[in-house]
Amino acid sequence: MNKIITFLSVAVVSLTLIGCASTEGNRKEKSNTANADTCDEHEAIANKSYNFGAMNFYKSYAITSDLQGAQAQLFLIENGLKETPIGNFAVAYKSAERSYDKNLSSAKAMGCDTSKYPPSPVDAFRKGVKILEEKSKKDVSPTQPQGQVHFYSRPR
């Protein structure tokens, strides 16, 4: 439970600092990646990319504890990194991941210390899914058959 609270707190603070994450913000990151002249600017872009991944996960899946939806979306995102992505969410994550990778490569080429950079947007999403999985294992009711977990669905 503490991991979820910590993850959500970081996500909320991040949202406050950078505003609402969107694919338009991601497009700005792509153009900013090419314009980063300092190591601090590269780190700021890496933070924005991570925040994009964390906040989109938080707003779409963590609030409602939608593990099944998050796992399905992670599948689409991961496959979209290798092939043509299916859906706007996967397209946005592929774009954010490419931006993050280009920024990381550029920062390393400049000699920046990237060891303290946050994880990539897709890694942020994966981390959120793992936290939901851990939470769902703890939330299993003793009356439920073993191996089945109660999942909450997102309101439609």
Q: Which residues contact 20 (CB under 8 A, 6 or more apart)?
A: 55
Q: Would you give per-residue pLDDT tens digits along the chain (156 residues)?
A: 555 545 544 443 343 333 333 333 433 444 445 567 899 999 999 999 999 999 999 998 888 899 999 999 999 999 888 888 888 888 999 999 999 999 999 999 999 999 999 999 999 999 999 999 998 888 765 554 444 444 333 443
**pTM, to two decimals:** 0.66
Q: Report the distance separating Cα 45 and Cα 26, nearest Å.
A: 10
Q: What are the residue ranges spanned by the domains of the chain?
A: 2-137
Torsion of CA 114, 95, 38, 43, to 10 degrees: -40
Q: For residue 38, how many other CB atoms are within 10 A of its CB?
A: 11
